[in-house]
Amino acid sequence: MKIYVTGLGLVSAAGKGEEETLETFRTGSRHAGPVTLFSSEISSPVFEVKNFDRHYYSKRLRTVNLCLAAVEDALKDGGLGREIKGLRVGVALGTTVGSILNDLDFYREYRAAGKASMAAVDRYLQGNLASIVHSFIKTEGPAITVVNACASGADAVGIAMSWIKSGLCDLAIAGGADEMNRVPLCGFGSLGILSENLCQPFDAARNGLNLGEGAGVLLLENEKSLRSRGARVRALIRGYGTSNDAHHLTSPDPEGNGLARAITEALQEAEIEASEVSFINAHGTATRDNDLVEGRVLHRLFGTKVPFLSTKGYTGHTLGAAGGLEAAFSILALEEGWIPGSAGFTDGDPEILLAPAAERTFFEGGFALSTSLGFGGCNAALVIERPHEESSVL
């Protein structure tokens, strides 16, 4: 069964929407700086979405607002409004921050006085992504909020695919969202994997990640849904692979076998060989461990001929949003026929055996691979195809 992508919604530091994002990729600009959304002692640069003023709920529910902005854009792109009649619609959304009660003011007050205002709790109870989108679009269909660390967004797309293939829904909204938040900023800092400079994925001198925020959402549907309403096909999700390293809570398996399995599974589902992949959007966080393991796995499976990049040099690490955003970026790249240079990369690391595209790179062929690795040993891979002319509109 084919799974079509008919809408994209994306918000990140690279741009609010496709035009701004492509412009950022064309010019190679990096919109990062010290955190401004809250006061912090941590000086590591972050990639915030500037001037984001689309509020569907309380301004303090930033993850929800980012998510709904991307959902609305994806629906509009797919020619749909908020109410979708006659079709079963699934909602699969990934997040990390958006699922936790982590309001510092609430907790500080509770600790000091043994009681606190319930405003933050009420916001938290309102703010479950899948539930909110499920009622935003008034749908009947499965709904899941996936919290799988940095693989959440990609897993959400994969889950939506599984649902559609199993006949549980005809159409699905899938992707992820996460806001800039103090908890992961402090947390990644304590793990020693935040860089004090702009991140340098796959570079020999890389020394950590920069946090980012955003939302990336795809509209997926089956052929029945597509034919019932006619829509422009932007891409096909041809394969999804997922696995667990069963190794360590925070470090990837140094052999990368879990990632290799996930990629292989995705290629098998897509029924393509590794040699048919035109480019790879790697997870590429710029930590010493991730890039080493991931780079070596890509080398093992694809050799040195397939161009690859990390877009985290343009967006920072957007955690739960990353998989959704990077699937969207891959679709844009397939449409444009080029990938941007891997921002932050200058010098290759001989241990990685591979170097990403340093400049804008045109490619042939119509298959992209997007990979995501998450804490807890989670690996996810998506194979995405550019549609042939004749299947662009059904």
Partner 1 sequence: MTVGKEEELASIREKLKVLLVSNLAFLDELDPASIKDDEILFGEGLGLDSLDAVEIVVLLQRHFDVHIKDMKEGRAVFYSIDTLARYVHENIPKDKQ
Partner 2 sequence: MKPLAIEGMGIVCTRGRGLDKFVQALKEGWIEPSLSEEGRMAYRISQADLSDREVLKRARRADRFSRLTVLAAHDAMRDSALKPEDAQKTGVIVATAFGAHGTIFKFLDDIIDYGEKNVSPTTFAHSIHNAAASYIAGVLECKGPTMTITQFHFSFQQALVLAYAWLHEGRADRVLVGVAEECSPAMEYICEEKLSIAADGKMDPLSFSEKPKLVPGEGSVFYLLSLNQERKKYGAFADVVIGRRNPEWNDLGLSVVGAHGMAGSERGYANVLKKGKAVSAYSMIYGGMLTGGGFDCAAAALALKNQELYGAGVLSDTGFCKTENLKAGKEINAVQCVSHGCDGELAFIKIIK
Residues near partner 2 (CB under 8 A) = 40-42, 96, 99-102, 104, 107-108, 110-111, 114-115, 118, 121, 125, 128, 130-131, 135, 140, 142-149, 155, 159, 162-163, 165-166, 168, 182-192, 242-250, 258, 261, 265, 374-378
C-alpha distances (whole Å) from 202 to each of 252, 294, 303 are 16, 9, 16
- Joined tokens for residue 310: 């990390």
Q: Which of 61, 55, 356 lies closest to 204, judged by CA? A: 356
Residue 254 found at the interface with partner 1 (CB under 8 A): no
| Partner from partner 1, partner 2, none contacting 251, C-beta within 5 to 8 A by type | partner 1
Cα(63)–Cα(212) distance, integer angstroms: 12
Residue 51 found at the interface with partner 1 (CB under 8 A): no
Least spacing, CB of residue 167 vs partner 2, in Å? 9
| Partner from partner 1, partner 2, none contacting 205, C-beta within 5 to 8 A by type | none
- Our CB check for partner 2 shows the closer of 257 and 361 to be 257
Coil, strand, or helix at residue 28? Answer: coil
Parallel/antiparallel/unpaired status of strands 279-281 and 367-374: parallel
- Our CB check for partner 1 shows the closer of 208 and 320 to be 208
Residues with Cβ within 8 Å of residue 64, at least 6 apart in sequence: 56, 57, 98, 126, 127, 129, 132, 177
| Partner from partner 2, partner 1, none contacting 121, C-beta within 5 to 8 A by type | partner 2
The β-bridge partners of 178 are 214
Residue 205 found at the interface with partner 1 (CB under 8 A): no
Cα(217)–Cα(202) distance, integer angstroms: 26
C-alpha distances (whole Å) from 18 to each of 8, 127, 216, 247, 271 are 8, 26, 11, 38, 29
Residue 190 found at the interface with partner 1 (CB under 8 A): yes
Least spacing, CB of residue 110 vs partner 2, in Å? 6
C-alpha distances (whole Å) from 325 to each of 109, 119, 167, 205, 276 are 36, 31, 26, 26, 23
- Our CB check for partner 1 shows the closer of 112 and 249 to be 249
| Partner from partner 2, partner 1, none contacting 376, C-beta within 5 to 8 A by type | partner 2
Stretch that binds partner 1, among 245-253, 309-317, 350-358, 383-391 (CB under 8 A): 245-253
Stretch that binds partner 1, among 174-182, 189-197, 210-218, 354-362 (CB under 8 A): 189-197
| Partner from partner 2, partner 1, none contacting 107, C-beta within 5 to 8 A by type | partner 2
- Our CB check for partner 2 shows the closer of 102 and 361 to be 102
Stretch that binds partner 1, among 95-103, 122-130, 190-198, 385-393 (CB under 8 A): 190-198
Parallel/antiparallel/unpaired status of strands 308-309 and 338-339: unpaired
Residues with Cβ within 8 Å of residue 70, at least 6 apart in sequence: 9, 10, 11, 175, 177, 214, 215, 216, 217, 324
Least spacing, CB of residue 251 vs partner 1, in Å? 6
H or E segment and range at residue 333 = helix 322-336
Cα(322)–Cα(226) distance, integer angstroms: 27
- Which residue among 54, 224, 248, 388 contacts partner 1 (CB under 8 A)? 248
Residue 36 found at the interface with partner 1 (CB under 8 A): no
Residue 121 found at the interface with partner 1 (CB under 8 A): no
| Partner from partner 2, partner 1, none contacting 80, C-beta within 5 to 8 A by type | none
DSSP for 120-145, written as a single string: HHHHHHH--HHHHHHHHTT--S-EEE
Residue 249 found at the interface with partner 1 (CB under 8 A): yes
Enter the DSSP assignment of 352: T
- Our CB check for partner 2 shows the closer of 301 and 352 to be 301
Residues with Cβ within 8 Å of residue 343, at least 6 apart in sequence: 28, 30, 201, 311, 313, 314
- Our CB check for partner 2 shows the closer of 24 and 222 to be 222
Residue 191 found at the interface with partner 1 (CB under 8 A): yes
Residues near partner 1 (CB under 8 A)? 190-192, 248-251
